[in-house]
A = this chain, B = another copy of it.
Amino acid sequence: MKYPEPLDVTVYPRQYGIATFMRLPHITHLKELDVAILGIPFDTSLGYRVGTRMGPREIRACSASVRLYNSALKVNPFKKHRIADYGDLLVDPYSIEKTYELIESGIDKLMENNVIPVSVGGDHGITYPILKSIAKKHGPVALVVIDAHPDTHDTQFGHKLTHAGPWRRAIEQKALIPHKVIEIGIRGTLFSEEDLAYGEKQGFRVWTAEEFMSENIEKVKAEIHQIVGDTKCYFSLDIDGLDLSTAPGTGAPEIGGLSNLHALQVIRSLVGLNLVGADIVEVSPPLDTGNVTSLLASHLLYEMICVI
């Protein structure tokens, strides 16, 4: 069993080489992998300020900045798992339905090979077909999500498959265990008071941004572990869970959100959970300024890999 290695920075300066995630090898043979980092360049399920289809490419470019050893977690993930850039899943920019099928069948292949997907969106709608595929293998899973919005809308303009309702769809598909859904960072302006009602009824544990930020991280961590326990768990990071000031490159930024440090703390608190997949979504390079959001995302992506 051989570990794919990122380009050695003592030999190949970081400006060198084709931009894969963290300058890892591009490997599509799933037998060689434990964890696949993959892009899903799709944002047609976004209703307003688009652009996240450009996310995977820009995050790949920015991830050349990431070094390999995590000083906080004291781990080099690339020596622990066989990890590579699996490339992108195929999408159809003109069809949400067809793309969600393509995503689901794309993830199915990973499931068959016991490879953990770490996906880079794309809009938040893509998590629904990922969860659908995961549930076929693992049954319904727990979910920890960082997000400004509840994402439990039933429909938008009459459409059932959008970036605004992945959790509702996934619950309907028995892909999630409702009372093991944990939302962190919810805040700000909502369409109406109904937005939160669905989650409450389903038994979600919701930390609004303000509650989370006034809480001790150790307490949050303990509660996450208590809720999730040994259940298989998925982690989803919508970049708008962070504050507008740190993640401007996204379609629906909100103020009063998590700082970069908060995001790091949440991710690191997942150590010990049984993670079966993760994603980072809603990074929109055309709306970004100075690439800060893509740079941030590439660092958070690395941290997510460290806790798997």
Taking the closest CB of chain B, its distance from the CB of A42, in whole angstroms, is: 8
State whether A54 and B15 are in contact (beta carbons under 8 Å apart), knowing that A67-B191, A157-B10, A296-B255 are contacts in the complex.
Answer: yes
Taking the closest CB of chain B, its distance from the CB of A99, in whole angstroms, is: 10
- Contact yes or no, B51 A51, CB < 8 A: yes
Residues 170-200 of A at the B interface (beta carbon under 8 Å): 186-193, 195-196
Taking the closest CB of chain B, its distance from the CB of A204, in whole angstroms, is: 14
Q: How far is the CA of A60 from the CA of B24 in the complex (A)?
A: 17
Contacts of A209 in B (CB 8 A): 261
Q: How far is the CA of A90 from the CA of B13 in the complex (A)?
A: 8
- Contact yes or no, B72 A210, CB < 8 A: yes
Cβ of A213 under 8 Å from chain B: yes
- Contact yes or no, B50 A91, CB < 8 A: no
- Contact yes or no, A286 B289, CB < 8 A: no
Cβ of A43 under 8 Å from chain B: yes
Stretch at the interface among A111-119, A133-141, A222-230, A243-251: A243-251
Residues 95-141 of A at the B interface (beta carbon under 8 Å): 95-96
State whether A50 and B53 are in contact (beta carbons under 8 Å apart), knowing that A210-B72, A289-B290 are contacts in the complex.
Answer: yes
State whether A71 and B19 are in contact (beta carbons under 8 Å apart), knowing that A90-B12, A95-B159 are contacts in the complex.
Answer: no
Cβ of A88 under 8 Å from chain B: yes
Q: How far is the CA of A265 from the CA of B45 in the complex (A)?
A: 34
- Contact yes or no, A260 B252, CB < 8 A: no
15 CB-based A-B contacts, threshold 8 Å? A11-B90, A51-B286, A57-B64, A65-B252, A67-B188, A67-B191, A69-B189, A69-B191, A71-B196, A72-B208, A72-B256, A94-B157, A244-B299, A248-B295, A256-B260
